[in-house]
Structure 1
Amino acid sequence: KEIKRPTPLSTPVITNAASFLVRPIVPGEIVSIFGEGLSTSVEGAMGFPLPTELGRTKVLVNNIAAPLFYVSPTQINFQVPFETPSGTFVDIVVTPDTARPDSQTTLKVTTTPSDVGVFSAEIEGAWRPIIINASRDPWELVSPSHPVLPGEWITLYLTGLGAVTPVVPTGQPAPFSPLSWTVDPVTVKINAQEVQIGFCGLAPGWAGLYQINVQVPANAQTGLQIMQVQVGRTASSSQYLLLPVGKQEV
């Protein structure tokens, strides 16, 4: 049976899968490619370890097969292999149909050791960061109608924070014990006040997903507060969020 050849990629864009910003890619990061003719089918990974081929679609990063989360004709989500060198240029080779090697397209991108991308979703009618109130039982999604209180612990979910220790193989879920912590320093500030971090590393049970557990200061003001998440020592690797803080009842 004749296999229909995918249409060529049209101005493909590679972004952080959480922030959707076009930035240098990071080893271990979850990224998205948007374009045309990226795959001949729609497929999603069914478990771990993540497959390196879905629906005859394959992605190579610096000649290493990348684990795939999802493929479709217009989008591919994959994990950048931890083995990818940082601070240089690498080739990303997308093969929409492995039965037709001539359909592949090569993209050249820059890499960096770490970056910040916080996952968001539509919450109460607006696009907001996914922040979990871990002090509630059961855990609760933080929103303007369900603000966090001073002194409570919250969890953020991110990607792009870079190398971890102990090392977790690319495409494999992070273990629950021992926890895998980030190597590059991470700071979180609420209204310019640095806050306590209980954990910063790969989210157990997931691949390429990071989590940060922080405590809201006891003296935090009420209302929407500016929260800054920074990885590394330069403010350019930061993301700013709005955190709803409620009034502590006496």
Structure 2
Amino acid sequence: MKLAILALLLAASLQAQIASLSTTDDGSILYFTTPSIQEGAAQPAHGKSFRIDAQGLALQEARTLEMVEAPVNRISNYYNISGIDVSGDGRISAIAASRLCRENICGSMVNTVTTVRGRGEPLDYAGPARLSQNGRYLAATITGIPRPTGARRSEWDLETGESWPLPYNSFAPSGRMITNDGTVLLKYDDDLQLFQRGALQRVTFQSETIEGAAIDAEGRSIIFTSRWPAPYNQYSRVRRLDLTSGELVTVLEGPADFSQPAVSNDASLILTVSGSQVFVLNADGTGVRQLTSETDGIQTAILSGNGRVAYALTFGGRLLRMEVEEPKVTEILGRTAHVETESLHGAIGSAMLIKGTALDEPDLQVTIGGRPAPILQAKPGELLVQVPWECAAAPETQVVLQTQAEYPLVEPQQFQAAVNTLYPDIYDVPRHADTQQPVTLDNPALPGESLYFYALGLGPVAAPVETGKPQPATPEPTLQNNLLCSWNTSDPSSRLEMPYAGLVPGQFGLYQVNLVMPARLPSTPDHLQRVVCEFKTDPNPQLLRFDLALQP
């Protein structure tokens, strides 16, 4: 089947094309959710669950959108499947689905429920939720579930029917969060906590910035990724907390970006993603192995309960199965195209960043508001295009991606886009003007030094050129709007000198802002100072903010 058109609604929210990867203890079946449609199938264009096993790709569950008649016809059933989790033996599943709600009272209603199947009659529980490996316990993953009829974020014992309210302001970690005895791993304010039948225990103490975390099925160890506080936060680590002895050790460390930790049921094997590739290692830090070398890069990865199989989603939209012990990598689902519309925005004449998968097709063409939009850079996971100068600012502007590539899953095709006159966003980290090196805590800004940063969406310039043509140096393409940058303080004298703000000569829709540091720099405990840039002429000033490392 040809994927002819992908149209995007920049102002809308759409779940990731392939999400919520889950597998059994032996890794024989992979489950996931997606709104995409299987090639040649008559399926609804909203969230569904699929499975891949030895027989290939198959639809697991899809629901028909139905509007509820009372009290008014603006509320639907829970039809849009957004998450799936399965027990280790695959017999019990927890399927999260949301509904369409357009009433004023929607904010006080539970608009996502999780349906548990495999334990007798299917039962619904408030909010998206995850299962323990043995399928006995279920815990809601989000905070702030409204309680109009007693619903709240909870943990449930599916065998006895007991439930316990979870701490309101805690968050679910990225990996497994429930053990087979019902202990729940939670994250709160850069700390990890254990919750068991109403009792809460803090297990880390804010000495580091904790990112991802997971607990093994038997509750022996917590595996988490973290960074030291500034100025040493360029180093990332994989750490293991032994819950029996209380020993906390670093098992892997370096100037890397370790993320998405996972752990086998018996806590003997750890998986992590670094440099957009999958790595595994033993619990003591030995036996580090790289499982993938994908040019697309790895977006998400999971580990089976027995630690013998891993699955990964690439930025090219491919699903991979990895035999950990061999090692062996097999593609189980080919390249699939998707665009993340949740945070997309564009400004007239500016470069616009589109994220997703399979965005580097050789024949890809883009139009915005019916006008060709030049592709400035194409990678599997992101696409940089120029919004045509000829576009009009409008809350609904269609963006279309067109290709003749064939995909096993096809995404829904109709969305809308919001294009603005201004939509400021920093594109790259601030850099030293003399060396072009990034400003970091190890290489901070100095008194009187010149810096620059690149940005998007800063609006019209004094001498624009036609869409798709590089910006010449003369006449100077400075901003028409009055941009001011200052330290994030109430002191009027904190304004920073700005020798230039405008388009970058030789580039397409990319802006550059030059700043000169004052002779006396502010002093802060962490040597970081917030910079705020805003257009003073805008009745609703749109701010651009970033932190700048300063010489102590």
Q: State the Cα deviation string for residues 13-52 of structure 1 (Å, max 9, x = none).
A: 247xxxxxx254211222233345x66xx35xxxxxxxxx
**Structure 2 residue matching 1:146: 3-state secondary structure:** coil
Q: 1:106 to 1:59 in 2, by over 3 A?
A: farther
Tell me how far 1:163 sits from its aligned partner.
1.1
Tell me how far 1:147 sits from its aligned partner.
0.9
| From 400, 403, 418, the counterpart of 1:110 | 418
| From 2, 5, 20, the counterpart of 1:5 | 2
Q: 1:75 to 1:157 in 2, by over 3 A?
A: closer
Tell me how far 1:81 sits from its aligned partner.
0.7
Q: Distance in 1 between matches of 2:353 and 2:378?
A: 10
Q: Which residue of 1 aligns with 2:218?
A: none
**Structure 2 residue matching 1:219: 3-state secondary structure:** coil
Q: Which residue of 2 aligns with 1:230?
A: 534
| From 221, 231, 240, the counterpart of 2:545 | 240
Preserved contact between residue 350 and residue 508 of structure 2 (Cα < 8 Å): no
Q: 1:140 to 1:220 in 2, by over 3 A?
A: same
Preserved contact between residue 5 and residue 402 of structure 2 (Cα < 8 Å): no
**Structure 2 residue matching 1:85: 3-state secondary structure:** coil
Q: Does 1:30 align with 2:351?
A: yes
Matches for 1:79-98 after TM superposition, within 5 Å:
79-97=386-404
Preserved contact between residue 188 and residue 228 of structure 1 (Cα < 8 Å): yes
**Counterpart residue type for residue 430 of structure 2:** I
Q: Which residue of 1 aligns with 2:518?
A: 217
Q: Distance in 2 between matches of 1:206 and 1:96?
A: 25
**Counterpart residue type for residue 132 of structure 1:** R
Q: Does 1:199 align with 2:500?
A: yes
Q: Which residue of 1 aligns with 2:432?
A: 133
Tell me how far 1:86 sits from its aligned partner.
1.1
Q: Distance in 1 between matches of 2:387 and 2:356?
A: 18
Q: Distance in 2 between matches of 1:73 and 1:145?
A: 32
**Counterpart residue type for residue 13 of structure 1:** E
Higher relative contact order (CA 8 A, sep 6+): 1
TM-score w.r.t. length of structure 2: 0.35
Preserved contact between residue 95 and residue 105 of structure 1 (Cα < 8 Å): no
Q: 1:106 to 1:56 in 2, by over 3 A?
A: farther
Between 225-234 and 4-13, report the one with greater CA deviation.
4-13
Q: Which residue of 1 aligns with 2:471?
A: 174
Q: Distance in 2 between matches of 1:24 and 1:219?
A: 37
**Counterpart residue type for residue 34 of structure 1:** K
**Counterpart residue type for residue 432 of structure 2:** N
Preserved contact between residue 94 and residue 106 of structure 1 (Cα < 8 Å): no
Preserved contact between residue 484 and residue 495 of structure 2 (Cα < 8 Å): yes
Q: 1:216 to 1:184 in 2, by over 3 A?
A: same
Q: Does 1:161 align with 2:458?
A: yes
Tell me how far 1:113 sits from its aligned partner.
0.9
Instruction: Mark the runs of 5 or more structure 1 residues left unpaired by the alignment.
Output: 16-21, 44-54, 121-129
Q: State the Cα deviation string for residues 143-195 of structure 1 (Å, max 9, x = none).
A: 11111112211101111112111112212211122220112221111233221
Preserved contact between residue 95 and residue 104 of structure 1 (Cα < 8 Å): no
Preserved contact between residue 114 and residue 184 of structure 1 (Cα < 8 Å): no
Superposed CA RMSD: 3.0
Q: Which residue of 2 aligns with 1:51?
A: none
**Counterpart residue type for residue 113 of structure 1:** T
Preserved contact between residue 4 and residue 404 of structure 2 (Cα < 8 Å): no
Instruction: Mark the runs of 5 or more structure 2 residues left unpaired by the alignment.
Output: 7-16, 18-34, 36-338
Q: Which residue of 2 aligns with 1:77?
A: 384
**Structure 2 residue matching 1:108: 3-state secondary structure:** coil
Tell me how far 1:140 sits from its aligned partner.
3.7
Tell me how far 1:229 sits from its aligned partner.
2.0
TM-score w.r.t. length of structure 1: 0.73
Tell me how far 1:211 sits from its aligned partner.
0.3
Question: How many residues are aligned here?
Answer: 211
Preserved contact between residue 389 and residue 466 of structure 2 (Cα < 8 Å): yes
**Identity rate, percent:** 22
Preserved contact between residue 165 and residue 183 of structure 1 (Cα < 8 Å): yes
> Which one has a bigger Cα radius of gyration?
2
**Structure 2 residue matching 1:107: 3-state secondary structure:** coil
Q: Distance in 2 between matches of 1:66 and 1:104?
A: 21
Tell me how far 1:91 sits from its aligned partner.
1.0
Tell me how far 1:239 sits from its aligned partner.
2.4
Q: Which residue of 2 aligns with 1:58?
A: 365
**Counterpart residue type for residue 76 of structure 1:** L
**Structure 1 residue matching 2:416: 3-state secondary structure:** strand
Tell me how far 1:6 sits from its aligned partner.
3.7
